[in-house]
Amino acid sequence: MKQVLKDLRSGRTMVADVPVPVPGPGMVLVRNVASLVSVGTERMVVSFAEKSLLGKAQSRPDLVRQVWEKARREGVLTALEAALNRLNQPIALGYSSAGIVEQVGEGINDLRLGDAVACAGGGYAVHAEYVVVPRLLVTPLPEGVDFESGAFVTLGAIALHGFRLAEPQIGEYVAVIGLGVLGLLTMQLARANGCEALGIDINPWRVEKARSLGLQACLRSEAETFATAFTQGRGFDAVIICADTSANDPVHLAGRLARDRGRVVAVGAVGLELPRKLYYEKELAFMVSRSYGPGRYDPNYEERGQDYPYGYVRWTEGRNLEAVARLIGEGRLTVKPLITHRFPIEAAEQAYALITAKNAPPSLGVLITYPQVEEPSLTRRIVLPRSVVNLSPTGKVRLGVLGAGNYATAVFLPNLRSLPEVEKVGIVSANGLHARRAAEKFGFAYAGSDETEIWNDDAINAVAILTRHQHHARQVESALRAGKHVFCEKPLAIHWDEIERIESLLQLEGMPLLTVGFNRRYAPLAQRLKAFFEPRAQPMHIYYRVNAGYLPLTHWLHDPQQGGGRIVGEGCHFIDFLVFLVGTMPIRVWGKALPDQGVYCEDNATLVFEFPDGSIGVVSYLANGDKAYPKEHVEVFCEGKVAELEDFRSLQLVANGRRQTFRHRLRQDKGHRGLLEAFVNAITVTGVPPIPYEQIIGVAKATLTARESLRTQRPVEIA
């Protein structure tokens, strides 16, 4: 299928071929008929992308600070590579579309194939021939509403939510500043609600467009004089700002137009430096509208389909979408006259050239249209123009990859580049877009969106699983049963039954090799640290402090069904490092955590592990620190020796009164490449797992046991 993308690094808008996405549980696959370009929001994204690297830095100093802090902690080259990787990720443009339901995911029973629907959401209702959208961001189109009109439903919901926040009453005076699509929709909503509305804009063409719709409007230069006559000198009860400008003039004008104790709502992206004297003297209420309504940016609502109770939250974003579709169907919201341009998907670049050009003709509703065929093809595999995979050489790792997110593109795939034993066959991601980009950048033969492509491909003999945590165990099982070696990014599993199933599989004769991404044990400084204490006859004391940093409670890693929590999802790394240094599995763990207080989620914890030889390992995982401070610090005491490892950039070894220091000045080396080399060597040469299975399975069990100890507040034996 074709999809419109923006390359952040070059600024180029392009139409690319990507695999058709697969709808997961609670998701809907829609074949787009029309999608609406947001002249305001998308123009800002496009303008940012088209800036030089210096221009991007000047416009986003907050991101520059993040890169600088990362450079201090992890090295200049590590930070630079991470920043450039982010810029190399293509952005999917668009968030408002309409089309036909082609497939529904598990759990959806109120939509049928062939239903006409409107779709919403950045990253979901994008400019593409097919889109996968969460159920609560899809609303059926009433009979008589065509797809071009349906493409306006999302922007209508944004206008409706902003209008609701102004709390208008029948007969009140409402001013709308900015007469783009949002402003004109807002004015129609005010009229439908029995309000007296006046539109204001600096553009004469838009003022005339409003008047042609039977709406009252004036130029910005006439606004204050016009408003006095319009309200008989009383001022507006509500002022809704729909302009798109970084200037503060709209909020200044709103303050002058509003009546005493009036209400001002900012819907558009405008400067927010309020004139205190004016707002204070009138005691004005000011509010910034958040997109489509309650539920927006809440992953429980949007991604997991947990709707808010109707009696408590009457107007969610989904119900606002439904209301706008109904208003269009009833003729109380007119959108057809707002359409000024139509471009087929193949010519989408011209649409963005139009909305960003300085001397372009006036535009409002810019639509992208899609070819309609009687029997659409759901192509979920795109073959890239490169040489065919050669199956003849023995001793090769012919790799398929599941997942093309940040870890895959910033860490895993770059470390494969100089491994000649690896043939990169196919890469798959859920939406297909990131797989397409990764395949092109790193030289895979094809990109796809359906994981069964990997299981069924005889050209693949090894699989890298780089997906979200809830998929790991299932995909490990599928890969092993398909006869493919497996590299699974941590954690191996997030539930006990998953561990037990994998453990049983590994005991079967002839099973392929499995390893987990416990890369730290392969870091050069970690290897040197371990060798420093060998051989030993006495137990060790190891302290591993992790300044993990705060993660919002809405993050998927906290979700017990998706991420398993931070201790399971990331803490396993540090537990494995204890096992690596001691050389055996712990037998008991005692965990204590700070109170969450509604801010944290079991991510300020100290875990004490006891080992059979008397060694003690302590992991302090903390989310309540400052990210400017180093993330990882390890201290080891044993037999009159001391070792101190800081962020895998410096190592101090102290023995017999002498101190040795080893440093990586320009970059961290956490062992990612070392582990990959060991994995490849295991497949092509030794046939021995890089990490012993008893340690892979043991660390998984120790991690879940540690979580149990945190919750019971008592020591727990590790199975």
3-state secondary structure of 424: strand
Question: Which of the two residues, 63 and 335, has the higher pLDDT score?
Answer: 335
Q: What is the homologous superfamily of the domain 520-717 according to CATH? A: Dihydrodipicolinate Reductase; domain 2 (3.30.360.10)
pLDDT of residue 388 exceeding 60, the answer is: no
Question: Which of the two residues, 73 and 704, has the higher pLDDT score?
Answer: 704
Identify the sign of the CA torsion 413, 415, 417, 422: negative
Report yes or no: 162 and 265 within 8 Å, Cβ to Cβ.
yes
DSSP labels, 349-360: HHHHHHHH-TTP
Report yes or no: 423 and 395 within 8 Å, Cβ to Cβ.
no
Cα gap 351→469, rounded to integer Å: 39
Identify the sign of the CA torsion 687, 688, 691, 692: positive
504, 509, 424: which is closest to 464 by C-alpha?
Answer: 424
3-state secondary structure of 483: coil
Report yes or no: 473 and 494 within 8 Å, Cβ to Cβ.
yes
Domain with CATH 3.30.360.10 in the chain: 520-717
Pull the structure tokens for residue 214: 């039977």
Cα gap 555→297, rounded to integer Å: 11
Q: In this predicted structure, which of 231-240, 374-383, 544-553 has the lowest mean pLDDT? A: 374-383
662-679: pLDDT as tens digits: 998 788 899 999 999 999
Q: Can you tell me the mean pLDDT for 200-212?
A: 96
Local confidence band at 62 (pLDDT 50, 70, 90 cut-offs): low
Domain with CATH 3.40.50.720 in the chain: 171-288, 382-516
Cα gap 188→215, rounded to integer Å: 8
Question: Which of the two residues, 549 and 361, has the higher pLDDT score?
Answer: 549
Q: Give the count of alpha carbons within 13 A of 333, CB side only.
A: 29
Q: Can you tell me the mean pLDDT for 371-378?
A: 79
Report the percent of the chain where pLDDT is more than 70: 92
Pull the structure tokens for residue 620: 């302090």
3-state secondary structure of 488: strand
Instruction: Quote the mean pLDDT of the chain.
Output: 92
Task: Report pLDDT for 381.
Answer: 84
3-state secondary structure of 641: strand
DSSP labels, 378-414: ---EEE-SSPPPP---SS-EEEEEE--SHHIIIIITG
Report yes or no: 128 and 18 within 8 Å, Cβ to Cβ.
yes
Q: Which residue has the tokens 């005010």?
A: 190
Q: What DSSP element (H or E) covers 672?
A: helix 672-681
598, 582, 581, 576: which is closest to 706 by C-alpha?
Answer: 576
Report the percent of the chain where pLDDT is more than 90: 81
The residues pairing with 90 across neighbouring beta strands, listed in sequence order, are: 7
Cα gap 95→260, rounded to integer Å: 37
111-147: pLDDT as tens digits: 999 999 999 999 999 999 999 999 999 999 999 999 9
Report yes or no: 130 and 101 within 8 Å, Cβ to Cβ.
no
Report yes or no: 267 and 160 within 8 Å, Cβ to Cβ.
no
488-538: pLDDT as tens digits: 999 999 999 999 999 999 999 999 999 999 999 999 999 999 999 999 999
639, 590, 586: which is closest to 614 by C-alpha?
Answer: 586
For residue 298, the tally of other CB atoms under 10 A from its CB is 15
Q: Which residue has the tokens 């037999």?
A: 639
Report yes or no: 168 and 241 within 8 Å, Cβ to Cβ.
no
Phi, psi at residue 326, to the nearest 5°?
Answer: -70, -40
Report yes or no: 491 and 469 within 8 Å, Cβ to Cβ.
yes
DSSP labels, 137-191: GEEEPPTT--HHHHTTHHHHHHHHHHHHHT---TT-EEEEE--SHHHHHHHHHHH
SS (H, E, C) 104-148: ECCCCCCCCCCCEEEEECCCCCCCECEEEEEHHHEEECCCCCCHH
pLDDT of residue 391 exceeding 50, the answer is: no
Domain with CATH 3.90.180.10 in the chain: 2-154+298-369
Q: What is the homologous superfamily of the domain 2-154+298-369 according to CATH? A: Medium-chain alcohol dehydrogenases, catalytic domain (3.90.180.10)
Phi, psi at residue 681, to the nearest 5°?
Answer: -65, -35
The residues pairing with 420 across neighbouring beta strands, listed in sequence order, are: none
Residue type, 657: G
3-state secondary structure of 659: strand
3-state secondary structure of 446: strand
Q: Taking the model in full, what pTM does it have? A: 0.87
Of the options 2.60.120.620, 3.40.640.10, 3.40.50.720, 3.40.1410.10, the CATH number for the domain spanning 171-288: 3.40.50.720
For residue 560, the tally of other CB atoms under 10 A from its CB is 13
Q: What DSSP element (H or E) covers 400?
A: strand 397-402
Pull the structure tokens for residue 167: 């709390």
Q: Give the count of alpha carbons within 13 A of 208, CB side only.
A: 5
Please give the CATH number for the structural domain made up of 382-516.
3.40.50.720
- CA 419 from chain center: how many Å? 30
Task: Report pLDDT for 392.
Answer: 44
Cα gap 323→708, rounded to integer Å: 46
